[in-house]
Structure formats: structure tokens, C-alpha cells
Amino acid sequence: MFLKLWVMSYRKLGDLVKFISNKNTDGNATILFGINIDKFFMPSVANIIGVDLKKYKVVKKYQFACNRMHVGRDERLPISMSNFEYDFIVSPAYDVFEVISSNVLPEYLMLWFRRKEFDRQCWFYTDADVRGGLHLDALKSIEIKVPSIEEQRQIVAQYQSIANKIKVNEQICEKLEATAQALYKHWFVDFEFPNEEGKPYKSSGGKMVWNEELEKEIPEGWEVGTIANLVDTQYGFTDIANPNKGTAKFIRITDVVGKYINWDDVPYCNIIVKDLYKYAVDFGDILISRTGANVGYGKMIGKHTPLAVFASFLVRLKPKKKEFISYLYCLIISEVYKDFIITNSEGSAQPQANANILTKMNCLIPSIEVYAKFNDEILPVIDFKEILDLQNQKLLQLQSLLLSRLAVGEEVSA
């Protein structure tokens, strides 16, 4: 890795952009977006039935929108730049602006807004209101370091190159997940698992028997049980998370509800050796959220995992045999499982699911040989996806490093 220094100058944001308020007076724009704290436009969850959309503000390509109302509370400024080829609308409470200076590229400015240091600066300027609003004059006064246009193009290209690699990996991971689920359906729903001759069981005349509990035919010799027949359960460890140091990584609900467990974001905890042996996670363990809006969501622990334990609002489902790993992986990441847990959870305002609820869903129990053959098919898929997830974590680190170097004018190269 090498660093290249750039010559930069300071410019106030208010000198680089113009704030505008183009209302949707003709009503042509009908797509309503909000902005999340990760600085991306997203479909709004607001109910707009009967709402006059002509009062909403229009955002065009390369224009920005931001929400200054909750910066003090969230410690971030939700802000994003449109890359869409079509116009859309945002809340009338949002600010919309566009670059007017020939000295700065909109794409470069958006990279600056993604910096953690920029969010800290915005937070510092927030008022004493409960929501912690950021005054417009304060936002305009924030200074941006602006290198030459050519250097900005290089920075943007480098960042976009990393972003494209992350996107490709994510697309591959989605296909791997779809492949695993399709194969699961083929084997355990359509009953076309390979017979002794390697041919699809059901369509090759495999014997089927009626099951009263499921009210459908299943392969002869198969039984119906519950997930509890396949796993041992355990509640997690109680401690206070430390973001910087500790005995082991401390996996929480927030760590298991994303696309993958991002180990860089997982904090630490202090745990004695005796408890470490009790709560340390292993390959094949499935950690499930048992409370809140994400009840029923979980992740399987992969092979490339640091020393880690799991927190008390998670339940560990540990396969009783290694042959069960792939079957459980496909079953528990499915939408069917999540829907089952949500339906059977206790409480309304704060859904709760204990270990019994998390494991009482019906499942098919074939011979151990069928589980083993399914493992042979799915484990390579799981391993490959984990490798891509880890690659993306490294790429995200590189992105963060690039953004952090903007203020000192250094180019990062891998």
C-alpha cells in the first residue's frame, strides 16, 4: 500500500452548493424516498394515501437531499445524492441542494459526506433541542477540503471500484443463497433427492406414504418431528459490550440481522475461562434473536470465526450432529421459519420467543444418510459465501480508509 499526497484547499459548503426548493407542482414525480442513516435513498414508509404530493420537493440526478432534524440524536446526518435517471420526491422538511461550483464534483462531495468525521462535525454543531437539529447556517459553514478536479476524479474512481467489487460479491452471495434454498426445496419439499441410483426419488417412482400430521405424502421411512429433535438450545451470556477490547467478541442481536456478521462491528466482552468454554460459538451454531422486531432472525456461525460468545437476547441452536448443519441452515434462514416465529411469538409491543418457540416448528426427519448427502451439496456453497462475506468486510475497511484519508489529502492504494 502506498500514499500519495494531494494539494488541497478549504471551502465552505455554502460556497460550493445552492439550496433549492423545487416543488412537485405538476405532480409528475410520484416516487417518494426517505434517507437512511447509512446515507442511501430508500422507499418511504410514510402513508401517502390522500396526501397532496405537489407539496413535496423534487430531487433530480446529482442533486442532494438531507434531513437535519435528528442529527443530535442519531449522531449522523442522513444525506444522499441521487444517481437515479428519473426525478423523485422527498419530504417537504428535507433540504435539497446542488453543486454550483466548478471546483467540486458532486460524487466527490458525497464521499466527503460519508466520512465519520463529517458526521461528528455535524453533531458538534447541533442545538440543544431534544431531537438535536442541525441549523442550516451551521451546515453551510462546514468546511470541505477540495483538491483539483482531476484528483477528485481519481478519488471517486477508486472508491467506485471498491464499491463495484462489493456489489458483485453481494450479487454472488444472493445467488448462492438462492441456490441453497432451491436445492432444499428440491430435496425436502418436492422430494426429488437422489435415490440409491442417483435418480430423483419421487419422479423415479420412490414410495410415498400419507402423513396425517402434515396432511400430505412424504417418502417412506421419513418421520415428522420438530427442530427440537435436531438441536440443543442455550441462552446467551450477559455482559456489557466494549467496542475496543475484551476477552472475546460479543455477538448481539444487531450483529445477526444483517446480510452477514460483520466482525469488525462486533464489540468485545470480558468473560472468565469457565464461562468462555460454555458460551464460545462453533461452526454450525445458529444464533437466533428471541425478542423485539427482529425476533426469529439469525445467522449460522461459519468456519472463519474469531473467538466469540453470544449475548443473552440470543438463543443458540446447536446441531446435535454435524450432518444436520446444512438442513438447519436452509430451514432457519428461510422466510417460512421467520413467519412461523413471528406468528407464534408472545407479546404485541415487544414480541418474545423463548427456546421452546424457536424450536417447535415441524420439520421432516429422513435418514442420517440423506442429511449427510445434503451436507455434501450445501457446505461448499456455505463456505464460498462466507469467503465472499469476509472479502466484503475487508473491502469496506478499505473504503473507510480511503474516506479517512480525504482530509489529509492522501491516496490509498492496495
- Residue 229 sits in the same domain as residue 291: yes
In a domain, 258, yes or no: yes
pLDDT, residue 129, reads 55
The HSE-up count of residue 98 (CA atoms within 13 Å, CB side) is 12
pLDDT, residue 30, reads 87
CB 145 within 8 A of CB 111: no
In a domain, 379, yes or no: no
Closest CA to 11 of 102, 85, 91: 102
pLDDT, residue 233, reads 97
- Residue 14 sits in the same domain as residue 85: yes
Closest CA to 146 of 155, 134, 138, 137: 155
pLDDT, residue 52, reads 85
pLDDT, residue 1, reads 40
- Residue 141 sits in the same domain as residue 186: no
pLDDT, residue 290, reads 94
Q: Per the structure block, which three cell numbers stand in for 171?
A: 450479487
Last residue of a domain, one of 331, 352, 368: 368
How distant, in Å, are the alpha carbons of 16, 80, 166 from that of 40? 22, 6, 16
In a domain, 64, yes or no: yes
pLDDT, residue 275, reads 95
- Residue 87 sits in the same domain as residue 214: no
Instruction: Quick: pLDDT tens for 348-395.
Output: 678 899 999 999 999 999 999 999 999 999 999 999 999 999 999 999
Phi-psi bin for 393: left (phi > 0), alpha (psi -120 to 50), beta?
Answer: alpha
pLDDT, residue 187, reads 97
Predicted confidence band at 44 (pLDDT cuts at 50, 70, 90)? Answer: confident
Closest CA to 248 of 301, 298, 304, 310: 310
Provide the β-strand partners of residue 303: none
- Residue 135 sits in the same domain as residue 197: no
pLDDT, residue 70, reads 85
Q: Which domain holds residue 97?
A: 8-146
- Residue 261 sits in the same domain as residue 136: no
Instruction: Quick: pLDDT tens for 31-41.
Output: 999 999 899 99
Question: How many domains does the structure of the chain reveal?
Answer: 2
- Residue 184 sits in the same domain as residue 324: yes
In a domain, 159, yes or no: no
- Residue 353 sits in the same domain as residue 229: yes
CATH number at residue 110: 3.90.220.20
In a domain, 155, yes or no: no
CB 333 within 8 A of CB 287: no
pLDDT, residue 397, reads 92
CB 100 within 8 A of CB 127: no
**What's the whole-number average pLDDT of the chain?**
91
How distant, in Å, are the alpha carbons of 75, 79, 82 from that of 41? 18, 8, 8
- Residue 225 sits in the same domain as residue 334: yes
- Residue 117 sits in the same domain as residue 210: no
In a domain, 265, yes or no: yes
CB 115 within 8 A of CB 406: yes
- Residue 180 sits in the same domain as residue 60: no
In a domain, 49, yes or no: yes
In a domain, 390, yes or no: no
Residue partners of 157: CB distance under 8 A and separation at least 6:
none
Instruction: Quick: pLDDT tens for 173-222.
Output: 999 999 999 999 999 999 999 999 999 999 999 999 999 998 999 999 99
- Residue 84 sits in the same domain as residue 231: no
